Structure 1
C-alpha cells in the first residue's frame, strides 16, 4: 500500500510539473514581440512580379527580415474573399465572404463576434488591449465592409493611395497605434485596365515599392522601428486582365515580415496561407487567438 501511495504521489508531482511547464510556456508564447504592427496590403500584387520588377525597398525588408514568394491566397483568388481571410484568420468556408466584391457574407458566418461580423484581428486587439489604438486606411471602398468599424480608432477611405498612406501614417505615428492596416489599390487597377505583367503594371508595382520605402523611412524617423513589425502582402495576383482562377500567377502572393524580433532569415520554408497573417500579427502583439480561427502564426519568421 505504501508503495502504491508513493507511486501516486510521484505521478501527481510529475503532472503538476508538466502543467506548470505548459503554463510557463504559454506565458512565454504570449509575450509581446512588438508594440506596433503595420500591415501593408497591395491589391493585385502577384508574387511573380519579383522576377522582373525593380523593388529595392521590398528587397531590403526581405534581406533584413523574412519572406515567402510562395504564400497563397484562398480560393477564389479575388479581393474581398482574401482581404477578409487576411484579417479574419480563417477562410471563406468559415467567414462566409466568397466573392470579389462581397459586402456581406454569402455563406452565413460560422461565428458572429461583438462587431456583428466574423471576428477580425481588430476584435482581438479591442478585447485584449482595450487602451491600444488601431486603425484601417484603405483606397478600395470594399475594405470598409470587412472589419469592425465600432472597434477601430481610424476608419478612412482615401481617394488615392497617397492620401491613404498619409492618413494612415499621421494616425499610426501620432497615436503610437498598436495596429494599422494600410490597403493600397495599386497595381490592381493597372492589372484590370491594361493587364497583369504589362509595362504599366510593373510601373505601378515599382511605385508601390517606393511607397513602402516612404512608410519605412517615416517609422525610422519617428524612432519607432525598434518596437515595430511591418508585414507586406497582397490579396492575389492575376493573368490577362483578370483574377480569381487557380493558376499560380493568380494564387501566389508575396508575404514579407520585417522589424522587431524578426531575424534576417531571408526565404522561409513555411507553407503560408493569407489567413496566417492575422495569427502572426496576434503572435507579435502577444494576443491569444480564438479556437475557431484556422490561421497559425508563421513562427519560423521569429526563430533564430
Structure 2
C-alpha cells in the first residue's frame, strides 16, 4: 500500500507538469504570433514609372525616402510587364500563374485562380487585414479604373476612382487623416499616360515623373503635419517601365521597377542586396502590420529593410 500522502504528492507533481506544459505552449503560441512594426502602411503605386527614370528626373521627395530608408532600383515586375497583371500581383502576394490575371486590362482572371477567397477573387492583402484585424480601416484611391477589379470591394472602407492623380491623392489623404487606416493603397496613372502618348525617356515623360514626386511630397507633408509619420511606413513602387510608347516585353527598361520603403522601423539601409519581385510587396505589408500570410501566397517579406539580411 502506498501512503495516501505520497499519492497526493504524485498527483500534485503530475498536475504541475501539465500546467507547465500548457503554459509553455501558450508562451510559444504568443512568441509565434507576429508583432506589428507600424500602425499604418501607405502603398503608393505609380503606373509606368520605370526604375531608369531616376537617372534623369528630379525626384527630391523619393530620394529623401531612399536616403532615410531602403530601396531597390532593380526590383522586377512579373511577366508580362503590363498593368493589371502586375497590380494584381503586388496586392495578391502571388504571380499570374496563381491569381490568374494575365493581361494589361484584365477584369477577371483569364486563367482560373488557384484559390478563391471570401471576396470572390484571389485573396489580397485587404482580405488578410479584414480577417485578422477586423476593426482596422483600409482603403483604395486610384486613378486608373482597372484597379477597381483587383481588390475585394466589400472589404474596404474607401473605394475611390479619381479623375486625376491630384484628386486621387487628395481623397486618400482625407481618408488617412480622418480614419487612421491600417492600409491605404494610392494608385497614380502617371507617368504611364505620358509614356503611351509621347514616349518613355522623353522630356514630357520625366516631367510626369516629377509631378508624381511632388504628389509623394504632399503625402509626406500631410503625415508630418498630422504627426502620423512616426507610426507609418510608406512603400513606393510601380507596375512596369516602358520602351518607346509601349511596354509588356522582356527588356529591363520594361521590367525593372523602383521599390522604396520608408518610415517606422525601416532601417536607413540605402540600396538593398535582396532580390525583390513585385509580389513581395504584399508579404512585406503583412509583416509590417503583424499579419500571418497564407500558404498559397508566393511573395516573401523583404526582411533586409528591417535590418535583417534574411
TM range (shorter): over 0.9
1:231 aligns with 2:235: yes
Q: Once the two structures are superposed, what CA deviation does each residue of 1:170-201 show, in whole Å capped at 9, x if it has no partner?
A: 00111001100000000000000000000000
- Equivalence for 2:190: 186
Q: Please, which of 132, 139, 160 is the counterpart of residue 135 of structure 1?
A: 139
SS in 1 for 2:172: helix
> Is the counterpart of residue 219 in structure 1 residue 261 in structure 2?
no
Q: Output the aligned Cα RMSD.
A: 1.6
2:206 matched to which residue of 1? 202
Distance 1:209 1:25 in 2: 40
Alignment of 1:40-51 (within 5 A): 40-51=44-55
The alpha carbon displacement at 1:19 in A equals: 7.8
Which of 176, 179, 184 lines up with 2:180 in the alignment?
176
Q: Which runs of 5+ in 1 are unaligned?
A: 1-14
Normalising by structure 2, we get a TM-score of: 0.90
Q: Secondary structure at the match of 2:199?
A: coil
Q: Is 1:55 aligned to 2:59, yes or no?
A: yes
1:26 is displaced (CA, Å) by 2.3
Q: Which runs of 4+ in 1 moved over 2 A?
A: 15-27
Which residue is equivalent to 1:26? 32
Aligned partner of 1:38 in structure 2 is 42
In the aligned structure 1, how far is the partner of 2:166 from the partner of 2:57? Answer: 21
* Separation in 2, partners of 1:78, 1:179: 24
SS in 1 for 2:141: strand
3-state SS, counterpart of residue 135 of structure 1 = strand
Distance in structure 2 (CA, Å) of the matches to 1:225 and 1:50: 25
- Aligned residue number for residue 119 of structure 1: 123
TM-score, normalised on structure 1?
Answer: 0.92
Is 1:249 matched with 2:248?
no
Residues 243 and 19 of structure 1: CA distance in aligned 2, closer, same or farther (over 3 Å): farther
Choose which of 90, 96, 121 in structure 1 pairs with 2:94: 90
Report the equivalent of 1:155. Answer: 159
2:277 equivalent in structure 1: 273
